[in-house]
């Protein structure tokens, strides 16, 4: 999500002049607009040969409680698919959609990005915009704001000799395994960051620490868990946290380590437009790298796969695939990423898709592996992007359950299931890998904590 670009219609005169013969209609509409003081911003986030993606923001000068927005596209648009709306329809060039409930209110003076959509055709402009039946934007034509093209990162340099990425290259899903560039089944192992915004120090963003973990612990993959919903996380500061994630991606490229870009959320289906914008931009700029893996939804809670989680994944995967045709995407599953069997019965279509399985060994045991075996037998490819030798809360009580953790490790090894252990930070939880005083740059042999020795013993 980029900074919102508000367009105050200071140039109403210019719009009226441009429309010439319609000027009388425009003047009428302006009066209605002035009465309600609404404004609709139309921002094109990305476009490709045959279609585009856009976000819609509404600015309300008077409070809005529930909205129906409509407009006419000036260009030929078809196949529109909007999210976070109800009752969307496209009739000819006339589009209508209503709020989804949770995004229905806009406070006085607030600009709120209310929904997004993808469509076939070219963006053109929108005109005759109305909110709740009242003309906005003077009723004139609204050219889209276009997100600036970010500068491309440096061209891909070969991964450094002897590093995991140099050994394995581009990844793909082969049956229910992961394969390297030579078509060999591989198991990648590593660790996850803490929720980025809750780290006690910026361990995840430190290149020296990443290289130290690669060389001393043997990690091959690092997961960057970008918190989304809590106060101070992504939804509050999208550009700031996206930049931190990019730092981790660049570090991983330089270190020759795989990196999982984790949209670390529990209600991501309620923030689909934000997720689509985030992954669209990163897939556009980093999808050419061999070492990037996308993870759009950390842990859905107890929500329905078919009606809630799967449609979210379909939207985000479509957004990623519009930019990046091939990098692996790991899809979160209901009940804190344990219901892989449910996903297996109704999988998302597409290529190079895997599914997220999480376990915490004081809580999760053979019955969870049975569910996972059901998924494997159905042909699903799994990636354990979090685990702990602890209780499911991450080990608030400090306990470790190594016997059951070993059964999981053996099961993952037998099935070549890749994993990243939770989590790189200092704290009391038994899943915190580091103890107080651990330097931000690595060198942690005297700073191991909780389940860290067990995790490290099971790294390559
Ligand atoms: Mg790619």
CA of 21 to the centre of ligand 1 (A): 49
Sign of CA dihedral 236, 237, 242, 248: negative
Largest Cα span, the chain: 79
Query: Is 174 exposed, middle or buried, given 0-12, 13-18 or 19+ CB atoms closer than 10 A?
Result: middle
Q: What is the mean pLDDT of the chain?
A: 89
Distance 395 CA to ligand 1 centre (A): 36
| Rounded Cα–Cα distance for residues 232 and 206 (Å) | 21
Task: Identify whether the C-beta of residue 44 lies closer than 8 Å to the C-beta of residue 73.
Answer: no
> Cα of 283 to ligand 1 centre, how many Å?
8
Q: Distance, CA 13 to ligand 1 centroid (Å)?
A: 46
**Who contacts 102 (Cβ-Cβ below 8 Å, separation ≥6)?**
270
d(CA 9, CA 17): 14
- Cβ–Cβ under 8 Å, residues 454 and 433: no
pLDDT of residue 102: 75
CATH tag, 164-457: 3.20.20.80
Residue-wise pLDDT for 79-124, tens only, equals 887 877 889 999 999 999 999 887 899 988 888 888 888 788 888 8
Query: What phi, psi does 452 have (nearest 5°)?
Result: -55, -45
Map out the domains of the chain as residue ranges.
14-146, 164-457
Tell me how far the alpha carbon of residue 293 lies from the centroid of ligand 1, in angstroms: 9
pLDDT in tens, 208-230: 999 999 999 999 999 999 999 99
User: H or E stretch including 423?
Assistant: strand 418-424
Distance 133 CA to ligand 1 centre (A): 44
Residue 414: asked if its preceding bond is cis (omega within 30°), the reply is: no
Burial environment of residue 193 by CB neighbours within 10 A (0 to 12, 13 to 18, 19 or more): buried
Residue pair 346/303 in contact by the 8 Å Cβ criterion: no
How many angstroms is it from 292 CA to the middle of ligand 1?
A: 8
Residues (pLDDT < 50) of the chain are 1-35
- Angstrom CA distances, 57 to 38, 70, 175, 227, stand at 10, 13, 42, 23
Among the listed residues 220, 253, 386, 404, the single catalytic one is 386
By the 8 A CB rule, do 352 and 329 touch? yes
- In the chain, what percentage of residues exceed pLDDT 90? 73
Torsion of CA 28, 32, 35, 38, to 10 degrees: -130
Q: Give distance in angstroms: CA of 259 to centre of ligand 1.
A: 13
User: For residue 173, how far is its CA from the centre of ligand 1 (angstroms)?
Assistant: 13
Q: Which helix (H) or strand (E) holds 54?
A: strand 51-60
pLDDT the model gives residue 9: 32
Between the CA of 354 and the centroid of ligand 1 the distance, in Å, is 15
Which pLDDT score, from 0 to 100, does residue 178 have? 97
Q: Report the C-alpha gap between 354 and 178 in whole angstroms.
A: 9
Q: From CA 426, how far away is CA 430, in angstroms rounded? A: 10
Question: What does the pLDDT read at residue 392?
Answer: 96
Element housing 85 (H / E): strand 85-91
And the tokens for 89?
Answer: 């329809």
Distance 325 CA to ligand 1 centre (A): 6
Give 268: exposed, middle or buried? Use CB within 10 Å, 0-12, 13-18, 19+: buried
Q: Is 254 a catalytic residue?
A: no
Give the pLDDT confidence of 385-400 residue by residue, as tens digits. 999 999 999 999 999 9
* CATH class, 14-146 region: mainly beta
- 244 given a catalytic annotation: no
> What is the pLDDT at residue 154?
54
**Bridge partners of residue 44, in order along the sequence:** 54, 146
Nearest to 293 by CA among 327, 320, 316, 335: 327
**Catalytic residue selected from 211, 246, 299, 404:** 299
Helices (H) and strands (E) in the chain, counts: 12, 24
Q: How far apart are CA 76 and CA 122, in angstroms?
A: 7
Cα–Cα distance measured from residue 191 to residue 224, given in angstroms and rounded to the nearest whole number: 9
Distance between CA atoms of 22 and 9, rounded to whole angstroms? 17
What spacing in Å lies between the alpha carbon of 154 and ligand 1's midpoint? 15
Which pLDDT score, from 0 to 100, does residue 122 have? 87
**What is the spatial distance between Cα 289 and Cα 383, in angstroms, rounded to a whole number?**
20
List the beta bridge partners of residue 141. 127
pLDDT at residue 448, rounded to an integer = 98
Q: How far apart are CA 6 and CA 43, in angstroms?
A: 10
- Start-to-end C-alpha separation, the chain: 37
Query: What pLDDT was estimated at residue 151?
Result: 52
Q: b/e for 390-412, b at 16 or more Cβ within 10 A? A: bbbebbeeeebbeebbeebbebb
- Distance, in Å, from the CA atom of 169 to the CA atom of 416, rounded to the nearest integer, reads 17
């Amino acid at each position: 999500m980029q900074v919102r670009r508000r367009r105050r219609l200071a140039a109403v005169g210019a719009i009226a002049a441009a429309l010439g013969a319609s000027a009388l209609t425009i003047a009428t509409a302006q009066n209605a607009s002035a009465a309600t003081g609404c404004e609709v911003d139309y921002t094109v986030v990305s476009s490709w040969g045959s279609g585009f993606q856009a976000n819609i923001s509404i600015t309300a000068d008077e409070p809005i409680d529930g909205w129906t927005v409509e407009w006419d596209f000036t260009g030929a648009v078809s196949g529109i698919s909007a999210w976070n709306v109800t009752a969307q329809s496209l009739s000819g060039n006339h589009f209508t959609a209503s709020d989804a409930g949770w995004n229905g209110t806009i406070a006085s003076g607030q600009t709120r990005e209310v929904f997004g959509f993808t469509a076939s055709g070219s963006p053109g402009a929108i005109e005759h915009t109305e909110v709740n039946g009242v003309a906005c934007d003077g009723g004139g034509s609204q050219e889209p704001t276009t997100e600036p093209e970010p500068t491309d990162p440096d061209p891909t340099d070969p991964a450094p000799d002897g590093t995991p990425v140099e050994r394995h290259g581009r990844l793909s899903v082969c049956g229910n395994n992961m394969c390297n560039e030579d078509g060999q089944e591989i198991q990648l192992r590593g660790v996850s960051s803490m929720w980025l915004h809750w780290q006690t120090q910026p361990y995840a963003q430190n290149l020296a620490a990443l290289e130290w973990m690669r060389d001393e612990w043997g990690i091959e993959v690092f997961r960057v868990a970008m918190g989304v919903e809590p106060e101070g996380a992504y939804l509050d500061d999208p550009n700031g946290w996206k930049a931190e994630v990019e730092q981790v991606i660049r570090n991983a490229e330089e270190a020759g380590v795989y990196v999982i870009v984790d949209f670390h959320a529990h209600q991501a289906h309620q923030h689909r437009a934000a997720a689509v914008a985030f992954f669209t931009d990163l897939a556009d700029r980093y999808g050419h790298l061999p070492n990037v893996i996308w993870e759009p939804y950390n842990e859905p809670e107890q929500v329905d796969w078919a009606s809630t989680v799967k449609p979210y994944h379909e939207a985000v995967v479509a957004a990623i695939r519009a930019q990046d045709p091939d990098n692996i995407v790991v899809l979160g599953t209901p009940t804190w990423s344990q219901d892989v069997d449910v996903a297996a019965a109704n999988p998302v279509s597409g290529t190079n898709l895997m599914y997220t399985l999480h376990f915490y060994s004081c809580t999760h045991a053979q019955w969870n592996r049975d569910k996972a075996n059901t998924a494997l037998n159905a042909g699903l490819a799994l990636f354990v992007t979090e685990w702990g030798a602890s209780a499911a809360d991450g080990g608030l009580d400090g306990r470790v359950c190594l016997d059951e953790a070993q059964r999981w490790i053996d099961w993952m090894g037998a099935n070549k299931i890749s994993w990243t252990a939770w989590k790189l930070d200092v704290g009391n939880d038994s899943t915190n890998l580091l103890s107080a005083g651990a330097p931000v740059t690595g060198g942690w042999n005297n700073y191991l904590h909780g389940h860290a020795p067990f995790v490290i013993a099971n790294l390559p």
